[in-house]
Structure 1
Amino acid sequence: MAIYHLHAKVISRATGRSAVAAAAYRAASRLHDLRLDRDHDFSNKSGVVHSEILLPDGAPERFLDRATLWNEVEAIEKRKDAQLAREVEFSIPREMTQAQGIALARDFVREQFVERGMVADLNVHWDIGEDGQAKPHAHVMLSTRRIEVRIGEAVHGRRDGIPHPERGGRGAYDLAPDPGPDGAERGRRSTQAHDPSADGNSGDAARHPAEALDAGEALAAAGRTARLIAAARLRHEGLGLAQDQPSIGFGAKERSWNDKDLLLTWRERWASLVNERLAELGPVRA
C-alpha cells in the first residue's frame, strides 16, 4: 500500500538558516556562501539520486547554477528575518522504481511550481529506512519572488533605494506537521514578512503616503526622493554602469504563492498524481 506525505515550510534567516547551506545539503554538494564567506560541504552525503534546477519561462540561464541561484537570493534579501525560500518535501511511493519516482516528481514540480513562475531546485533522495526498505522522497526549494526585467538599480522589487509598493503583506504559511529544525514555526503563518510600520510610519501612512501627508510634507518627501534618485545615478556613473541597462532577475514578492489554500492544493494534487500513476503501473507483486 502506498504511503505518501507532503509538508511545506519556510527557510528563514530569522532562525539562523542559509539558503545556500540548505541547497548544498539537499543536493549533497559543496557550495560557497558569499554572504557568510564560507563553504557548505555535504558532498559525502549519500542517497541523492537526482538533482536538478527547473526554471520558469523568462528566467536567466545563470540560475541553472545552484550556487549562483541561492547566493543571489541571499544577496537581495536584506532583512535579518528575511524569508529566503519555501521548501516542499513529499514522499515517493516505494512501489516505484527510481526512474518512475523521479519522473513523477518532475511532473509535479513543473505543473504546480514552475508553471506558476517559481524557480524550483529539485532533489530526489532514495534513502533506506529503519525497516530496511527504501524511503524515497523529494525536496524542492522554491523562490518566493517572480522573475522580472530590471532597469538600473531595480533589484528584487526596489529601484534607486525606493521601496517597492508591494512590499509587506502576509507571511508565508507552513503546512503541519513539520518535523524539521523549523518545527517551532509549523502550522501557523510566518510573521517574518515586512511590516509597513517598521520604518516608523503607521500602516496606513505606509500604504497611502499621498493621503497621509499635507502639501508641505509632500513637497519635502518629493525632494528626498529626487535626492535618492540623483545619488543612485551618480553611483551608476562612478561605476561606469549604463543607466537603463536591462537585466533579468528576481522582482517583488509574489503574494499569491503564500495562500494557504494553494498549499493544500499541492498536497491534494500530489496524492492524486500518486494514485493515478500507481493505477497506470498496475498491481504490485509481493
Structure 2
Amino acid sequence: MKLRKLQCPSDLKTINLQNTDQKQSGGIFASSEEGETPGIQTEADVDFVDGFQINSTVFLFSNVASGAKTNKVRLIWLQAETSKAQTLKSLGGATLSSSDGGEGSRLLASSLIPGGQQVLWSGVFSLDGGENNTELLLFDISPDQSRTTDTDPDFYYSSNKPNKPSQPKSLQPKVVLFKKKYLSSVLAVREDSWTVFFIGTTSGELIKLAVDENNVPGCPKVLQRGLRGFPKILLDPVDRKHVYLPFKDQIQRVPVSDCSAYTDVKDWFRAKDPHCVWCVTKKR
C-alpha cells in the first residue's frame, strides 16, 4: 500500500488569520483570502505570551528580541474588520515598561482584569530575565486610536519593513501590585469593587492578593504550598469559589478563601479579603 504524503500549506508569517467556519471562503482553517494569504511579519524573534479579544479589538502580547538587542515587551492591537487583510492592516502597537523603566524585562504571564470602562490588564514581569526579580504590574491597555496604523518597527503587514517606522507608544504601569521572587502565573477576578489576584510561583505557592478600587493592595495570603511550576490558574465558572491548578499529571481544586483563618478582626481587616465578612456578635 502506498501512503500519500499530505501537502500542508506553509506558514511563513508571524501572525495569520484563519477561518473558524466551514462556510467561509476556502473552508475551515483556511488562511487565504481572494487568492492571497495576508499576514503580519517580523524580522525579530517573537515569543507570544497571551492574546484575547474585547468587542472588536484584538490584543496580542509578546516578548520581542532581534539578534543581540535587548528584549522588549510588546502589545499590538488589531481591529476586527470585514476581511483578513483589513484586520491585519489595522495593526497598532505599544511597548510595555517595567517598574524600573529599564530594558531587558520579560513578560512571563498575563491576565485581563474583567469589567470597568478602562481596559485594565495585569502582567507578571521578570526584570532580569530570570526568576529572582519578578513583579506583578497593573496597566491601562486601552487602544490608542490616534496613532497611524501599520508603521510599527517590529511588526508590519507589507512584504518589507516600513522605511520610516514610527516609535511605538510606551505604556507605563499604573501601579506595582506585588514584588516577590519566582512569580510565574496570574489570574485576576472581580468581586464587587475589589480585584482579586491569584498568583502562582515556580516554588509551588498559590498566593491571593486583594486590591481595592484605589489600587491599594491588602496583605498577600498563601492559599497553598505544594507542586511546583503550574503555568495557568483557572476560576471555576460555576461556583466561583474555587480555582483550578493544572499540573503535568493532575489538576488541583483550591478554595478561593479560608475565612476561618482570620482569628480576629485586625487580621481580617489587614487582609482586605472580599470573600469573607466579619461577624461582630460571634467574633469570627
Output the TM-score relative to the length of structure 2.
Answer: 0.25
Q: More helix per residue: 1 or 2?
A: 1
Output the TM-score relative to the length of structure 1.
Answer: 0.25
Larger relative CO (CA 8 A, sep 6+): 1 or 2? 1
